[in-house]
Structure 1
């Protein structure tokens, strides 16, 4: 598959070495063996999806804040990019196909949607924060990506989501995945989410096969919460 990447052919690209090191030192060692994913992560300009002034931090193994001056507050509110190795591992585990339609909940900067757009037919990305909707749309427009629709919507409200999808991606953590969201999966569809609470969240893949859901939990991580989703019930004494 030929990937139309937003990459300059210039040999003096100041971020080329940083992207290469990100792939070789962070992404590849984290059980990443899909060459197509590795090439995509290494060529799509991640630095163009971060706020102004943070380009040099785009390749760090951190959750990168997207809004405001206080990074801890931004991450607590879910206004952040996931670490590159996490995004790459999700992309590999999804096994996206060129005919598939994807629903993403939690657009952030638009970077994950941009990655998925290179491998799938269409991506619809829902974002609850208006400032991030504007940021993502601007980033995707600059990258000349035309098969991503960014929609201002609370993705936790499954009733507001029309249609069904081959793939659903929750780009942030939840205590549990609402059954109504799982109902949006087509036959053969996959939903991937980070399920649980700190200090340990399980990356959980739901697959619909012959009308039934199978579940696998291939790896663990800790990432910021998605807004709007229900938390664990509190015990009352």
Structure 2
């Protein structure tokens, strides 16, 4: 990959981070390899690069954060990503999660509602390493109908209820993963579209995400 500096120390810290995430229960080796491969420090503000391989979320401006690596790994493991999967991500943010999916060989369509963050990402030269990343400035509640259906959908902010428009953009057999619920009572949900309008829902651990908001800003 071009367009960034990656030291031996950073590489070792990244592997240590992947190992610590494995000890917390992440078992998908492809997810752990992606965490160990992708340089998280390039997604961080320059003055915070030394904190990049701490397993924590950090602010990136506009009231948003770069997600905790464990949370990224947890959602990605639930998605059961396969190379070539067409994935819609709602909430680009720093683009770290989208890049993890791209490293795993998915074709990623990611939506950001905040124009300042969208413009920052579009000018982020490192992401030119991933021709399988596609960006949209839009309302995540509407999804990306022109590119539907999707094999996988990942929501990185918490709606109080799953948006029907997004579920309907899943292909048959597709999976959607999202934190759902009000602040303080969010659970990670996985929805499988089994046939037509038949969906199966699984409920997983408690998490705390920023609320998913409608519209563009």
TM-score when normalising by structure 2: 0.89
Structure 1: where are the runs of 5+ without partners? 69-73, 230-237
Q: Which residue of 2 aligns with 1:110?
A: 95
Say whether residues 1:64 and 2:58 are aligned partners: yes
Q: Please, what is the CA RMSD of the aligned residues?
A: 2.3
Shift of 1:55: 1.0
Q: Which residue of 1 aligns with 2:19?
A: 24
Shift of 1:40: 1.1
Shift of 1:50: 1.5
Q: Tell me how far apart the structure 2 counterparts of residues 96 and 28 of structure 1 sit (CA, whole Å).
A: 17
Shift of 1:178: 1.3
Contact 2:102–2:132, Cα closer than 8 Å, also in 1 = yes
Of 30, 38, 57, the match for 2:32: 38
Contact 1:7–1:43, Cα closer than 8 Å, also in 2 = no
Query: How many residues were matched structurally?
Result: 213
Contact 1:100–1:121, Cα closer than 8 Å, also in 2 = yes
Local SS of the residue matching 2:131: coil
Shift of 1:172: 1.4
Q: Which residue of 1 aligns with 2:117?
A: 132
Q: Tell me how far apart the structure 1 counterparts of residues 166 and 25 of structure 2 sit (CA, whole Å).
A: 29
Of 184, 187, 205, the match for 1:219: 205
Contact 1:172–1:226, Cα closer than 8 Å, also in 2 = yes
Q: Which residue of 2 aligns with 1:147?
A: 132
Q: Tell me how far apart the structure 1 counterparts of residues 88 and 54 of structure 2 sit (CA, whole Å).
A: 27
Say whether residues 1:14 and 2:15 are aligned partners: no
Q: Report Cα offsets for 1:76-126 as digits up to 9, x if no partner.
A: xxx111110000111111111223211111001111111111224411100
Shift of 1:138: 3.5
Q: Residues 107, 44 of structure 1: CA spacing in aligned structure 2 closer, same or farther, 3 A cutoff?
A: same
Q: Tell me how far apart the structure 2 counterparts of residues 180 and 36 of structure 1 sit (CA, whole Å).
A: 30
Local SS of the residue matching 1:15: helix
Q: Tell me how far apart the structure 2 counterparts of residues 189 and 149 of structure 1 sit (CA, whole Å).
A: 20
Structure 2: where are the runs of 5+ without partners? none
Q: Tell me how far apart the structure 1 counterparts of residues 4 and 125 of structure 2 sit (CA, whole Å).
A: 16
Say whether residues 1:83 and 2:68 are aligned partners: yes
Q: Tell me how far apart the structure 1 counterparts of residues 124 and 76 of structure 2 sit (CA, whole Å).
A: 19
TM-score when normalising by structure 1: 0.82
